[in-house]
Amino acid sequence: MRIEIYHASKYGNGAKIAEELKHVLESRGQQVSVHHISDVGPKEVPLADLYVFGAPTRVGKPIGSMRRFVKKAALPQGARYALFATHADEVPDKKTGKMPTPQELDARRKNIPTLDAVLRDRGMVKVADKVFSVVMDEKKGSLKETMAGQLKDGWQKRAEEFADAILDAA
Protein backbone atom coordinates (compact mmCIF):
# COMPACT_ATOMS: atom_id res chain seq x y z
CA MET A 1 0.00 0.00 0.00
CA ARG A 2 0.95 3.59 -0.42
CA ILE A 3 0.53 5.36 2.94
CA GLU A 4 0.79 9.12 3.48
CA ILE A 5 1.39 10.35 7.05
CA TYR A 6 0.61 13.98 7.97
CA HIS A 7 1.41 15.43 11.39
CA ALA A 8 1.38 18.84 13.07
CA SER A 9 3.99 18.25 15.78
CA LYS A 10 5.15 21.42 17.50
CA TYR A 11 7.73 20.09 19.99
CA GLY A 12 8.87 16.97 18.13
CA ASN A 13 7.00 14.16 19.91
CA GLY A 14 4.44 13.64 17.17
CA ALA A 15 7.22 13.88 14.57
CA LYS A 16 9.04 11.00 16.32
CA ILE A 17 5.88 8.89 16.32
CA ALA A 18 5.33 9.59 12.61
CA GLU A 19 8.91 8.50 11.79
CA GLU A 20 8.63 5.37 13.94
CA LEU A 21 5.33 4.49 12.29
CA LYS A 22 6.94 4.92 8.87
CA HIS A 23 9.85 2.70 9.95
CA VAL A 24 7.53 -0.09 11.19
CA LEU A 25 5.17 0.12 8.21
CA GLU A 26 8.10 0.02 5.77
CA SER A 27 9.50 -3.01 7.59
CA ARG A 28 6.10 -4.61 6.87
CA GLY A 29 6.51 -3.91 3.16
CA GLN A 30 4.50 -0.68 2.82
CA GLN A 31 5.48 2.45 0.90
CA VAL A 32 5.32 5.40 3.32
CA SER A 33 5.87 9.18 3.22
CA VAL A 34 5.84 11.53 6.23
CA HIS A 35 5.01 15.24 6.02
CA HIS A 36 4.62 18.09 8.49
CA ILE A 37 1.47 19.92 7.45
CA SER A 38 3.33 23.23 7.41
CA ASP A 39 5.38 21.86 4.47
CA VAL A 40 2.46 20.88 2.24
CA GLY A 41 -0.85 22.37 1.18
CA PRO A 42 -4.06 20.41 1.84
CA LYS A 43 -4.78 20.41 -1.89
CA GLU A 44 -1.39 18.77 -2.62
CA VAL A 45 -2.31 15.50 -0.91
CA PRO A 46 -1.52 12.73 -3.42
CA LEU A 47 -3.60 9.66 -4.15
CA ALA A 48 -2.83 6.95 -1.58
CA ASP A 49 -4.34 3.76 -0.17
CA LEU A 50 -4.36 5.13 3.37
CA TYR A 51 -3.82 8.44 5.16
CA VAL A 52 -2.59 8.90 8.73
CA PHE A 53 -3.13 12.19 10.58
CA GLY A 54 -1.47 12.98 13.91
CA ALA A 55 -1.99 16.12 15.99
CA PRO A 56 -0.86 17.62 19.29
CA THR A 57 -3.60 18.66 21.72
CA ARG A 58 -4.67 22.19 22.59
CA VAL A 59 -7.28 22.56 25.34
CA GLY A 60 -8.48 19.03 24.75
CA LYS A 61 -8.77 19.38 20.97
CA PRO A 62 -6.49 18.91 17.95
CA ILE A 63 -4.30 21.90 17.15
CA GLY A 64 -6.25 24.26 14.83
CA SER A 65 -3.89 23.85 11.87
CA MET A 66 -4.67 20.11 11.71
CA ARG A 67 -8.41 20.71 12.01
CA ARG A 68 -8.21 23.04 9.01
CA PHE A 69 -5.96 20.63 7.11
CA VAL A 70 -8.33 17.66 7.37
CA LYS A 71 -11.30 19.86 6.44
CA LYS A 72 -9.62 20.94 3.21
CA ALA A 73 -7.43 17.94 2.34
CA ALA A 74 -7.94 16.67 -1.21
CA LEU A 75 -8.81 13.11 -0.20
CA PRO A 76 -10.40 10.63 -2.59
CA GLN A 77 -14.02 9.71 -1.90
CA GLY A 78 -14.26 7.01 0.78
CA ALA A 79 -10.54 7.28 1.64
CA ARG A 80 -9.32 5.17 4.54
CA TYR A 81 -7.54 6.91 7.38
CA ALA A 82 -5.99 6.40 10.81
CA LEU A 83 -5.52 8.99 13.55
CA PHE A 84 -3.05 9.48 16.36
CA ALA A 85 -3.03 12.11 19.08
CA THR A 86 -0.38 13.24 21.53
CA HIS A 87 -1.82 14.17 24.92
CA ALA A 88 -0.18 15.28 28.15
CA ASP A 89 0.20 12.18 30.33
CA GLU A 90 -2.52 11.79 32.96
CA VAL A 91 -1.48 12.96 36.44
CA PRO A 92 -3.25 12.74 39.84
CA ASP A 93 -5.73 15.51 40.67
CA LYS A 94 -3.92 18.18 42.71
CA LYS A 95 -6.67 18.31 45.37
CA THR A 96 -7.76 14.70 45.71
CA GLY A 97 -4.56 12.92 44.64
CA LYS A 98 -6.70 10.56 42.53
CA MET A 99 -5.94 9.58 38.95
CA PRO A 100 -8.65 10.49 36.42
CA THR A 101 -11.00 7.64 35.56
CA PRO A 102 -11.16 6.39 31.93
CA GLN A 103 -14.50 8.22 31.63
CA GLU A 104 -12.96 11.50 32.85
CA LEU A 105 -10.09 11.10 30.40
CA ASP A 106 -12.52 10.46 27.53
CA ALA A 107 -14.45 13.60 28.48
CA ARG A 108 -11.38 15.81 28.26
CA ARG A 109 -9.58 14.13 25.35
CA LYS A 110 -11.40 15.26 22.23
CA ASN A 111 -8.45 15.31 19.86
CA ILE A 112 -9.22 12.09 17.99
CA PRO A 113 -13.06 12.42 18.18
CA THR A 114 -12.86 15.95 16.68
CA LEU A 115 -10.77 14.93 13.66
CA ASP A 116 -12.81 11.77 13.31
CA ALA A 117 -16.06 13.74 13.09
CA VAL A 118 -14.69 15.95 10.30
CA LEU A 119 -13.39 13.03 8.24
CA ARG A 120 -16.44 10.84 8.84
CA ASP A 121 -18.71 13.70 7.71
CA ARG A 122 -16.65 13.88 4.53
CA GLY A 123 -17.37 10.18 3.89
CA MET A 124 -13.94 8.83 4.87
CA VAL A 125 -13.50 5.51 6.66
CA LYS A 126 -11.41 5.10 9.82
CA VAL A 127 -9.31 1.97 10.26
CA ALA A 128 -7.49 2.65 13.56
CA ASP A 129 -6.53 5.27 16.14
CA LYS A 130 -4.07 5.61 18.99
CA VAL A 131 -3.33 8.03 21.83
CA PHE A 132 0.29 8.64 22.86
CA SER A 133 1.19 10.24 26.19
CA VAL A 134 3.78 12.95 26.64
CA VAL A 135 5.25 13.24 30.13
CA MET A 136 5.61 16.89 31.11
CA ASP A 137 8.72 17.48 33.21
CA GLU A 138 7.98 20.43 35.47
CA LYS A 139 11.54 20.41 36.78
CA LYS A 140 12.83 21.55 33.38
CA GLY A 141 13.83 25.21 32.99
CA SER A 142 11.88 27.09 30.34
CA LEU A 143 8.17 26.87 29.55
CA LYS A 144 9.12 25.54 26.11
CA GLU A 145 11.16 22.70 27.65
CA THR A 146 8.32 21.89 30.04
CA MET A 147 5.70 21.82 27.28
CA ALA A 148 7.99 19.72 25.05
CA GLY A 149 8.09 16.91 27.61
CA GLN A 150 9.00 13.47 26.38
CA LEU A 151 7.14 10.47 25.04
CA LYS A 152 6.10 8.07 27.79
CA ASP A 153 8.12 4.85 28.04
CA GLY A 154 6.82 2.16 25.74
CA TRP A 155 5.85 4.57 22.94
CA GLN A 156 7.71 2.56 20.29
CA LYS A 157 5.70 -0.52 21.27
CA ARG A 158 2.49 1.54 20.96
CA ALA A 159 3.62 2.73 17.51
CA GLU A 160 4.15 -0.88 16.48
CA GLU A 161 0.69 -1.86 17.81
CA PHE A 162 -0.79 1.08 15.91
CA ALA A 163 0.96 0.01 12.68
CA ASP A 164 -0.32 -3.55 13.10
CA ALA A 165 -3.87 -2.33 13.83
CA ILE A 166 -3.73 -0.26 10.64
CA LEU A 167 -2.51 -3.20 8.56
CA ASP A 168 -5.00 -5.63 10.11
CA ALA A 169 -7.91 -3.33 9.23
CA ALA A 170 -6.71 -2.05 5.88
Ligand X SMILES: Cc1cc2nc3c(=O)[nH]c(=O)nc-3n(C[C@H](O)[C@H](O)[C@H](O)COP(=O)(O)O)c2cc1C
- Read off the DSSP letter of residue 110: -
Nearer Cβ to ligand X (21/167): 21
Nearer Cβ to ligand X (80/87): 87
> Distance (Å, rounded) from C-alpha 20 to C-alpha 155?
9
Q: How far is the CB of 38 from ligand X (least distance, A)?
A: 12
> Distance (Å, rounded) from C-alpha 166 to C-alpha 15?
18
Q: How far is the CB of 125 from ligand X (least distance, A)?
A: 26
- Read off the DSSP letter of residue 45: P
Nearer Cβ to ligand X (60/123): 60
Nearer Cβ to ligand X (30/86): 86
Nearer Cβ to ligand X (14/25): 14
Q: How far is the CB of 89 from ligand X (least distance, A)?
A: 8
Interface positions with ligand X (CB under 6 A)? 9-14, 56-60, 86-88, 134, 147
Task: Characterize 141-161 residue by residue with b for buried, 16 or more Cβ atoms within 10 angstroms of its Cβ, and e for exposed.
Answer: eeeeeeebbbbbeebeebbbe
Q: How far apart are the first and last CA of the chain?
A: 9
Q: How far is the CB of 116 from ligand X (least distance, A)?
A: 17
Q: How far is the CB of 140 from ligand X (least distance, A)?
A: 13
**What is the full DSSP assignment across 110-152?**
-HHHHHHHHHHHTT-EEEEEEEEEEE--TTSSSHHHHHH-EEP
